[in-house]
Structure formats: structure tokens, C-alpha cells
Amino acid sequence: MMVSQMRSLLMDELEAVRNASDDKRAATVKQITDLFLAGAACFSNEQIQLFDDVLLRLIDGIERRVLIELANSLAPVDSAPVNIMRQLAKNDEIQIAGPVLIQSNRLDVADLIEIAKTMSQDHLLAISERKRVEQALTAVLVDRGNDDVLCKVATNAGAALSEADFRVLVGRAENHERLTEKVGLRPDIPAQLFERLLLRATKVVQERLLTLINPVARPELHRILTRVAQGFGIEGQFRSYEAARSDVAAKYQAGTLVEADLLQYARANKCEELVVALALLCSVSVDIVDRLMELDRPDAMLIACRAAGLEWSTTREIIALQARDQEISEAGFRRARENFNNLTKSSADRILHFWQTRQPVVNHQVTS
């Protein structure tokens, strides 16, 4: 059908229902929609624009049920009239806007960002379900979204997340088990943020995440944890542990190495003895604990202390020693204690032994 003929036909329909009843107008909308759907794959841009103009006029003031049906009919169509799709997507009622926000490829990123910045949480939730969510759009969802929106973003493999977005998600995940788990299962989460998330998770979520660390079933999680482990493989000068090992190992073998010894080592600044003692109690190499001691943050050393079965009072002295010349504030100690309390011994054991399997052997380093 030529454009001129189609225009004449559609305008006649429009004129015929100008003052018609709601039912008649609804029936006309359905007829024109069906006509469009029947030839959507073949219509030119000019013909599609014609349908756009007519439908926009027809739906002005039309009842809700008609708009819901129209939205569901046109949302999956790649060539749907763009202006009608924009209008439906901006409708206050999510039953009308939702199908379009979730499915329509006629909305561009600018359209979606505008809606995400101004519309309801239900609208944000619908956008977060799209097969592909560009990073600029994700940033708005993460900034404005409630917990349901953030959980949906985290589980959407098609949502592009920047490191800044992950920081927000990790921060919001504190005290929120469901979000923590969803974010933790993202294969693209930066390693250092996964570590932070894991340390601050509840015991239940820690166990659930660690249970999923399977290099065969979940290689993406394995890669994340591999990067975490590699983050501890820093270069540097190693201490000599030969003398300390002889002394501490004798106590360990005699069954007399106790927590009070580690507290004394920490207070006396006996790093070598402390590292050997922790390695023996955790059943990992001295190299692992040495690397943890060389870090400039306490979170990793908390894992070793928890795996060794130490109390917080001893752990506090150890991380104070680890900080060397950098004094830890009371707020810093409070945060460290919260992380320590949230970490179970079984979780700490798993993390340490995972790192153990990922570390290369260092020839000059004494192992437990």
C-alpha cells in the first residue's frame, strides 16, 4: 500500500471515531495496531511514522485497559512507532510503562536515563530487567534504586557495572544478606571489592558464597578469588624465619604454643615468631602469613587470626603491629572488630587454604 493511500485510510478511521464512544475508539486502536503488526517487518520509516501519528491522536484520554494492551502488543516489536513507545514508557502506571521499559528496543539510552532519573522505583525496577543495561544507565539505577532495584541490577548479566557502581553496591550490601549474595556472585566484581564484601558479609552469606567457590561448576567465581589471591602476591624483601621457626616449632610440637605466646610476640614486636606461630596454627605456609603482614590494611590479617582461633584482644595487638608506623584510629579498630566478629573460623580456613593453593613456592621462604 502506498503511503498516500495508507494515510487516507488511517485519517478516515481517525475522523470516524473523533466523537465516538470509548468502546469504538478502543476497537479502532486495536484494528490499527493489528494492521501495523501484520506488516511491521515490511513498512518503511515513513509508513511507521504515519502509524505513530495516528495512534498518538487516538490514545489521548483513552482508558487504561487499552493502553495496557497496546503496550504489551508493541513492546517486543523492534520497528514499533518510537513516539508512541516513549509516551507509553513515561506513563505513571507501571502496568502500562513496564512492558515497554523491559522489552522495547525503540527506547534509546537517553530516553531510559530520563525515565530512571524522574520516575518511580517500579519504573527503575522494570528498566533493571532489560536484557542490556548500558553503564551510564546502570549508574542512575544504582544511585536512585531501592534494594529491589539493586538486587535486580546485580543479578542482570546484561547490566554493565563500573567499579564506582560496584563500590556503591558493596556499601549498600552491608546488613543486607540478599544483596550481598547477589553482588558477590557477579563474575565481573573487582577482586578487592569482592574481598571487602566477603569480609563484611554475615556468617550465613559467607558460608553460602564460599560453598560456591568451585573452579569447575563456577569458573567465574574461581577467577575472582584467584585475582584476590594474586593481590597478596606482592614483591618485597622476606624476613628470615630460620631462628624463629626452630623456637616456635618446638613449642607447637610439644603442644605448648598458646594464644598468650602470640600476644607476647605482638607486644614485643617479634614479627618473625608471630608469623611462624600463625602459620603453624593455621596450617599454611609461612610465606602466606608473611605476605599478609606486609599489606597496609588489616582485613587480610583478620582472616589469619580468626583461622588461628585467636580472640579479638590478641588480634587487635597483631593488627596494631602490622600497621607499623601508621596508627590505627579507634574507629578503624571498631570496623576491624566488626569484620572479625562477622567472620567464622570455617570461612577463614577456607579462604586461607584457597590462597595457599594459588601461591607459588618461594625457595628461600621457610614453610610450616
128 close to 155: Cβ distance less than 8 angstroms: no
Cell representation of residue 78? 523492534
Confidence at residue 196, expressed as pLDDT on a 0 to 100 scale: 81
Sort 131 into a burial class: Cβ within 10 Å, 0-12 / 13-18 / 19+: exposed
**CA–centroid distance for 192 within its chain:** 13
11-22 burial, b if ≥16 CB within 10 A, otherwise e? eebbeebeeeee
Ramachandran region of residue 61, left (φ > 0), alpha (ψ -120 to 50) or beta?
A: left
124 close to 145: Cβ distance less than 8 angstroms: yes
Q: What count of other Cβ atoms lies within 10 Å of the Cβ of residue 100?
A: 27
- C-alpha 268/C-alpha 207 separation (Å) is 36
- pLDDT tens-digit profile of 121-143? 999 999 999 999 999 999 999 99
Confidence at residue 5, expressed as pLDDT on a 0 to 100 scale: 53
- C-alpha 34/C-alpha 218 separation (Å) is 46
Confidence at residue 8, expressed as pLDDT on a 0 to 100 scale: 59
Confidence at residue 236, expressed as pLDDT on a 0 to 100 scale: 32
Residue ranges of the domains in the chain?
3-107, 171-231, 242-358
Stated pTM of the model? 0.59
Residue 351's Cβ-side half-sphere holds a number of Cα atoms within 13 Å equal to 31
Q: Is 159 helix (H, G, I), strand (E, B) or coil?
A: strand
Instruction: Please give the chain's pLDDT, 368 residues, in tens.
Output: 545 556 555 666 665 556 566 777 788 888 889 988 988 888 888 889 888 988 888 888 788 999 999 999 999 999 999 999 999 999 999 999 999 999 999 999 999 999 999 999 999 999 999 999 999 999 999 999 999 999 999 999 999 999 999 999 999 998 788 999 899 888 888 877 887 887 777 766 766 666 554 444 445 555 554 444 444 443 333 355 777 888 899 999 999 999 999 999 999 888 889 999 999 999 998 888 888 887 767 778 899 999 999 999 999 999 988 886 577 888 889 999 999 999 999 999 988 888 887 664 433 343 33
Radius of gyration of the chain (CA): 31
Q: What separation in angstroms does the CA of 191 have from each of 167, 216, 232?
A: 12, 19, 11
DSSP 219-286: HHHHHHHHHHHHHT----PPPP-HHHHHHHHHHHHHT---HHHHHHHHHTT-HHHHHHHHHHHHTS-H
277 close to 257: Cβ distance less than 8 angstroms: yes
